[in-house]
Amino acid sequence: MYVDSHCHLSFPELRSRLPEIRAEMAAVGVDRALCICTTLEEFDSVHALATEHDNFWCSAGVHPDSESVREPSVDDLLVLTALPKVVAIGETGLDYYRLEGRSIAEMEWQRERFRVHIRAARAARRPLVIHTRSASVDTLEVLRQEGGGEAGGVFHCFTETAEVARGALDLGFYVSFSGILTFKSAHELREVARMVPLDRCLIETDSPYLAPVPYRGKVNSPAYVPWVARQLAEIKGVGVEIVAEQTSANFEALFMRDGS
Ligand SMILES: [Zn+2]
Ligand SMILES: [Zn+2]
Ligand in nearest proximity to the CA of 208: 2
**Is 90 exceeded by the pLDDT of residue 257?**
no
Q: What is the mean pLDDT of the chain?
A: 97
| pLDDT tens column, 35-94 | 999 999 999 999 999 999 999 999 999 999 999 999 999 999 999 999 999 999 999 999
End-to-end CA distance of the chain: 19
CA of 242 from ligand 2 middle (Å) equals 25
CA of 32 from ligand 2 middle (Å) equals 16
CA of 153 from ligand 2 middle (Å) equals 14
CA of 27 from ligand 1 middle (Å) equals 27
| pLDDT tens column, 213-239 | 999 999 999 999 999 999 999 999 999
Ligand in nearest proximity to the CA of 209: 2
CA of 25 from ligand 1 middle (Å) equals 22
Q: d(Cα 74, Cα 3) in Å, to the nearest integer?
A: 29
Ligand in nearest proximity to the CA of 157: 1
